[in-house]
Copies of this chain bind each other. A is one copy, B any other.
Amino acid sequence: MGRPRSHQATQVAAAQGRIRAAGERLTAPRAAVLAVLLASDTALTHHEVAQSLRTGTPVDRVTVYRVLDWLVGLALAHRIPGEDRTWRFRANRDSAHGPHAHFTCSSCGRTVCLEDVAVPPRVRLPRGFRPQKVELTVQGLCAACH
């Protein structure tokens, strides 16, 4: 299901380029993890990432966690909180991508970015409250599970 395994392999070079461009230390786990994210059209859990790496470049689960965090810190990926209390990760494609909504299928768990749905720019808060981040999440059934 999904695209051929080769797609992920072709993303390794792209991943290496991005890591180098960020002026960061290039390692096999980092390139491999980022390549997995780049090859996916849905946001992935750490578990799904580790699974994808089983064949080819096995990476310790802890390292997967650390690399994902590191990617988020560098803004090479973003982290999406899930109703099931697991983070999901997606590579940031274009550098000019703003905060957007997310959709999670309550049946299959697939999470996709709704890139064209911006989060409400202004929310009325109580006096003295200062906003930092706004999260807009839609739960429902995806086209496949419909």
Copies of this chain present in the complex amount to 2
In the assembled complex, the CB of A129 is this many whole angstroms from the nearest CB of chain B, namely 6
B140 close to A132 (CB less than 8 A): yes
Across the interface, do A141 and B132 meet the contact criterion of CB distance under 8 Å? yes
- A101, closest chain B residue (CB): B123
* Cross-chain contact A137 with B135 (CB below 8 angstroms): yes
Q: A interface, how many residues as a size bin? A: 35 or more
B139→A112 contact, CB < 8 A:
no
**Contacts beyond the supplied A114-B125, A128-B142, A130-B140: 10 A-B pairs with Cβ under 8 Å:** A103-B125, A106-B132, A112-B126, A123-B138, A131-B139, A132-B139, A132-B141, A133-B139, A134-B139, A137-B137
